[in-house]
A and B are shown apart, each in its own frame.
Chain A
Amino acid sequence: MSTRTPHRPPSAAAGTVRRLSEELWSAVSTADEHTATEVVLGALDNGVDPETVLLDVIAAVQGRVGEEWAANRLSVAQEHAATAINERAVAALSRHPAARTAPTRGRITVACVDGEWHALPARLFAEVLSLRGWHVDYLGAQVPTPHLIAHLHRTDSDAVALSSSIATRLPAAHAAITACQAIGVPVLVGGAAFGPDGRYAFLLDADAWAPDARAAADRLARGPLPRPRPDHQQLDDLPHLADQEYTLITRNSASLVRSVFTALHDAFPALRTYSEAQRERTAEDLAHIVEFLTTALYLGDEDLFAGFLTWTAQILTARGVPAHSLPPALTLLARELKDFPRATRALDHGAAALAPVNRTAAESLS
């Protein structure tokens, strides 16, 4: 069995893991920090492998937090509270005697990309590496690239592990990857932003990618990552950036959102009846669409934009908000960006992807 899967099978029986996950979920979803910590520490007391607790219990519960939020079964406040309690559980775990490991391997810096606030995946990975005997520098959420580079100059890290969960952080991730490589430190990337198959990791020329924390730790255990080429530049990976569409649209994104927002009042008259807060939400949604559009332009991947639109439509529908304002917004954006061929293609592609989702939503409402 183990030859078929590259990862080590969890040491605890699947039943134990399921029971612990249920217990932790019920504690975390009711913001009961005390019970959450008890569940985690109790598992360690009973001899469950700390890595299993981190990855098969805590990480799994955190995944469920995200799913429940997307389905509108958890509020923003509940989601944040649940995440905070999961983080406290990780902190408690790291102090348990079963999780104490003396460093026997090299040094790894673990950080989230600038603008990335989801720190838990990186935190879990940092703990796993510590458990496996690495000397870990965990820099936390949203690390500005200058801080990361200054840290790497100060320390002799063997590699950087960079985490990003949101695709819009990929341009920032690219800047960070290139900067680390330029000073001779190889970069291992992970997180949902890089795609389920790691396609963006390869596109942005990261030195390694792993689908999850276990695989990433296994990769580092296999041997040092190759030393990166020092003369590697961002434009080498993404020659399409030469058309400057990304640069120009990003620079003017606020005025672009403003024009579309104004025009949307005519195209989507319901907007006039919105409250101030609702109107601000709409403007934020527009800004978000533009951000994903520019990210798709940066990566040269129209599917990314289409995927974002269908996901947004699902999120809106889950909250009882019909996604009717999306198609007119795309039309208006296309009008504003008619001089940008790649943007126009991405918007067409997005509108086409959205059509079936909108039909389903309309049918489910009628």
Chain B
Amino acid sequence: MVSTQAQTGVGAEHGASWDDAPYPVLVADAQDSVVLRNDAATVLLPGAHPGTRFADVVPGWLAEAHAAVRVPGPRTGQEPDAEPPCPPLSGTIGERSFEAHPSVRADGAVTWWLIDDTDHVLAREALDMERRRTAFLAEASSMLLSSLNLGRCMDVTAQLAAEHLADAALVIAPTHGRRLPVVTCPRGGGPSTSHESADPDEVPGLGEALRGFPPVPSRWIDPSSAPAWMVPEDFGTVGSIVITPLPGHGVPAGALVLLRRSGGAAFTDSEEVFARLFAARAGAAMSAARLYAEQTSITDVLMRELLPPSLHQISGVDYAGGYRPSADHERIGGDFYDVHPAAVEGDASLITLGDVCGKGLEAAVLTGKIRNTLHALLPLADDHQRMISLLNTALLNSHHTRFVTLVLASAVREGSGVSLRLTSAGHPTPLIIRADGTVEEAQTRGTLVGAMPHAPARTTALTLAPGESCVLYTDGITEAEGGPLGGSHFGEQRLKRVLSECAGMPSESIVERVQMLASQWIGRGRHDDMAVVVISAPRTHHLSAVNGHTRGRFTA
């Protein structure tokens, strides 16, 4: 079986020299002995002399592959086509990587073609690495971009860094306070927030990174010099620590600390560059979140005075209010209401509800001024006409060209009822819900305020029996357009019909019902600001326990 030609490495049967083949070639016969190798194979596997056992002279992976190919035993000529082609086998020989392609001959001998794919493998690994990094950066960007909350951005940053860049990651935010906000995340774990009372300047590179100036590169620090708070519990021995500044846009965004265990791979240059790319994205997101937080806190402070107050029972009279601005993303608009408790117990509280022409933020700012003016005029609350005239003058003298319609109501508990004085200045007439379901219009009329030199108005007085209510509302309710057939106004008649079904209901339920029906009437359509205030005489003689009073007040 073993020919002399084969031993010389020349394939005489085909008239071609194996030595000309561009790849190392080995032939093993049916008894698994090497019978032939070409020059390239000699260089690659110097020990594989013809006659040696194949398995003894080739690396394990190739020996296994050979065994697998040979398992069925010597093949006949008909068989090879029936077998599905084996997937290419590959492994390393020495420093390099090879694909091994077997061809099985009819006599059971196997020819192994070894193709050097080292460069191909390296290129593929580099491509895979770049793809993974790009996918990671894309994922990081979309996760970071989605949140405007600083805490959540820090969590996401720490978690992503721990999953992809290090065995543990810390995100440290700059602070004006004494304690450093730190989010720590070990690989495979969840982020946890802590506040460390540490001086960042004691850690090399951290102080600069948190100040955001001067610009500093990533900084390696000696793991033994790292403060204890920097190393997560049960982390083991730290092999390497790198501190990377998170670049903000004009504002410092913080620092990213990456830790790797000793014994693992240290950071390579390309990993460090990559960590900086990630840090740039994280820093941008965190500085945007910080700016947003600052803006929101400013808005919140400015808006606090403009938000409608939450109403409750005062001096034995129930109040409830509801407000819906014209735009769903806003919280304020051109309607307003307030309840001012009397300075002296037993005097009437003043309720105001009004509507500045226009909507949105500008109208809201004007409502703030009007509410302040009315607040200043509280000592005159007994005389509605006088308040209205003074407000009229104040508005005429201001640079605003806007005007306002409003209702003033003075309410005081008398016995089990509530006595009310109502004045409408160009405003939709307040409605009274009587106990039997009758809905009355309050007999008050007046002109709007801030348009003409005089604003005369007529005040009316009435009494609410227990369970009866007075409803103040703005025209956003009655002029709400929609309905099941579309295109019609909610209207005063419908409002009265709704209110007559509300006889005896608690004040907040009436507000809610009116708001709900008006909202459903509108459906998805556009609408104006809508405000409702309900003043009720409580049904029983008991005081409500809702207002923070203990039961002792009326059970003792």
Name A's B-contacting residues (CB within 8 A).
31-34, 37-38, 41, 75-77, 80-81, 83-85, 87-88, 91-92, 95, 114-115, 117, 141-142, 144, 146-147, 150, 152-156, 182-185, 224, 230-231, 250, 254-255, 257-258, 261, 277, 280, 283-284, 286-287
Contact string against A for B residues 160-182, beta-carbon threshold 8 Å, 1 for contact and 0 otherwise: 00000000000000000000000
- Pair count A-B, CB < 8 A: 126
- CA distance in complex: A142, B328 (Å): 11
> Provided the pairs A41-B551, A154-B149, A184-B147 are in contact, do residues A34 and B542 lie with their beta carbons within 8 angstroms?
yes
* Distance of A354 from chain B, by nearest CB (Å): 21
Q: Is the interface of B mostly helix, strand, loop or mixed?
A: loop
Bound-state Cα–Cα, A250 to B524, Å: 10
Q: Contacts A91-B546, A183-B148; is A31 near B539 (CB within 8 Å)?
A: yes
Q: Is B399 an interface residue (CB 8 A)?
A: no
Contacts A183-B147, A257-B485, A283-B484 supplied; 20 other A-B pairs, CB < 8 Å: A34-B540, A77-B501, A80-B509, A81-B505, A84-B505, A92-B545, A95-B548, A114-B328, A147-B331, A150-B329, A153-B149, A154-B149, A154-B296, A155-B149, A184-B152, A254-B484, A257-B484, A261-B485, A280-B484, A287-B485
B495-532 contacts to A, CB under 8 A, are: 497, 501-506, 508-509, 512-513, 516, 519, 523-524
Say yes or no for B419: interface residue by CB 8 A criterion.
no
On whether A258 and B513 interact (CB within 8 A), knowing A31-B504, A81-B506, A146-B328, the answer reads: no
Residue of B nearest to A77 (CB): B505
Known: A83-B509, A85-B506, A277-B497. A184 touches B329 (CB 8 A): no
Query: Smallest CB-CB separation from A255: which chain B residue?
Result: B486
Q: Determine if B292 and A37 form an interchain contact, defined as CB atoms under 8 angstroms apart.
A: no
- A113 → B minimal CB distance (Å): 13
Task: Check if A182 sits within 8 Å of B146, measured CB to CB.
Answer: yes
Q: Which residues of A contact B139 (CB under 8 A)?
A: 230
Across the interface, B487 reaches (CB within 8 A) one of A147, A254, A287, namely A254
| A229: min CB distance to chain B, Å | 9
Who on chain A is nearest to B510 by CB?
A80
User: Quick one: closest B residue to A250, CB to CB?
Assistant: B524
| A117 and B545 contacting across the interface, CB-CB below 8 Å | no
Tell me if A80 and B512 are in contact (CB < 8 A): yes
What distance in Å separates the Cβ of B458 from its nearest Cβ neighbour in chain A?
32
Q: Find chain B residues with CB under 8 A from A280 CB.
A: 483-484
Roughly how many angstroms separate A146 CA and B327 CA in the complex, as a whole number?
A: 10
Bound-state Cα–Cα, A277 to B484, Å: 13
Identify the closest chain A residue to B500 (Cβ).
A77
Known interface pairs A81-B505, A117-B516. Does A153 touch B485 (Cβ–Cβ under 8 Å)? no
Q: Is the CB of A34 within 8 A of B545?
A: yes
B380 within 8 A of A: no
CB atoms of B544 and A147 under 8 A apart: no
8 example contacts (A-B, Cβ-Cβ < 8 A) are as follows A33-B539, A81-B505, A117-B512, A150-B329, A154-B149, A250-B524, A257-B485, A258-B485
Contact pick for A183, options B146, B150, B331, CB 8 Å: B146
A165–chain B nearest beta-carbon distance, Å: 13
Q: Which residue of the partner chain, among B142, B149, B482, B512, contacts A152 with CB atoms under 8 Å?
A: B149
Question: Could you tell me the distance between the alpha carbons of A87 and B484 in the complex, rounded to whole angstroms?
Answer: 31
Complex CA distance for A147 and B329, rounded to whole angstroms: 6
Does B190 count as interface, using CB distance less than 8 angstroms? Answer: yes
| Contact of B486 (CB < 8 Å), options: A75, A84, A182, A254 | A254
Instruction: Please report the C-alpha to C-alpha distance between residue A347 and residue B512 in the assembled complex, in whole angstroms.
Output: 33
Closest CB in chain B relative to A297 CB, distance in Å? 16
Tell me the count of chain B residues lying within 8 A, CB to CB, of chain A.
49
Query: Which residues of chain A are near B142, meaning CB under 8 Å?
Result: 230-231
A156 touches B151 (CB 8 A): yes
Interface centre among A75, A76, A184 (most CB of B within 10 A): A184
With contact pairs A154-B149, A230-B142 given, residues A88 and B293 touching in the complex (Cβ less than 8 Å) = no
A167 to B524: give the CA distance in the assembly, Å. 17
CA distance A277 to B483 in the complex (A): 13
Find chain A residues with CB under 8 A from B546 CB: 37, 88, 91-92
Task: Kindly identify which residue among A153, A224, A231, A254 contacts B148, using a CB–CB cutoff of 8 Å.
Answer: A153
CB distance from A136 to the nearest CB of B (A): 17
**Known contacts A77-B502, A95-B548, A224-B190, A156 near B509 by CB under 8 Å:** no
B156 CB within 8 Å of chain A = yes
Contacts A37-B551, A95-B548 given; does A144 touch B328 at CB 8 Å? yes
**Chain A residues whose CB sits within 8 angstroms of the CB of B513 once the complex forms:** 76, 80
Q: Is the CB of B143 within 8 A of A184?
A: yes
Q: Could you say which of A76, A85, A115, A154 contacts B501, with CB atoms under 8 Å apart?
A: A76
Contacts of A277 in B (CB 8 A): 497
Residues of chain A within 8 A (CB-CB) of B150 are: 156
Shortest Cβ distance from B217 into chain A, in angstroms? Answer: 30
Closest chain A residue to B150, Cβ basis: A156
Those of B114-171 within 8 Å (CB) of chain A? 139, 142-143, 146-152, 156
- Cα A248 to Cα B83 with chains together (Å): 58
Contacts of B544 in A (CB 8 A): 33, 88
**Interchain CA distance A46-B508 in the complex, whole Å:** 30
A153-B296 in contact (CB<8A):
yes
- Give the docked Cα–Cα distance between A234 and B316 (Å): 50
**Complex contacts, A76 vs chain B, CB 8 Å:** 501, 513
- Using Cβ atoms and an 8 Å threshold, which residues of chain B touch A83? 509
Specify which chain A residues have a CB less than 8 angstroms from the CB of B503 in the assembled complex: 77
When distances are taken between beta carbons in the complex, the residues of chain B under 8 Å from A230 are: 139, 142-143, 146
Chain B proximity of A202: nearest CB distance (Å): 23
Question: Separation in Å of the B187 CB from the closest CB of chain A?
Answer: 16
Interchain CB contact under 8 A, B484 and A81: no
- A38 to B551, Cβ gap below 8 A? yes
Given contacts A32-B540, A224-B190, A257-B485, contact A144 B545 (CB under 8 A): no
B156 and A84 form a contact (CB under 8 A)? no
Kindly list chain B residues whose C-beta atoms are within 8 Å of the C-beta of A80. 502, 505-506, 509, 512-513
Closest to B555 in A: A38
Q: Write the nearest CB–CB distance from A139 to chain B, whole angstroms.
A: 12
Across the interface, B293 reaches (CB within 8 A) one of A117, A154, A254, namely: A154
C-alpha gap A183/B502 in the complex (Å): 42
Q: Please give the distance in Å from B508's CB to the nearest CB on chain A.
A: 6
- Neighbouring B residues of A115 by C-beta, 8 Å: 519
- A205 to B516: give the CA distance in the assembly, Å: 28
Q: How far is the CB of A87 from chain B (nearest CB, A)?
A: 8
Shortest distance in angstroms between B84's beta carbon and chain A's nearest beta carbon?
A: 37
* A84-B509 CB under 8 A given contacts A41-B551, A147-B331, A283-B484: yes
Task: List CB contacts (< 8 Å) of B325-365 with chain A.
Answer: 328-329, 331
Interface string of B190-204 (1 = CB under 8 A from A): 100000000000000
| B504 with A77: CB separation less than 8 A | yes
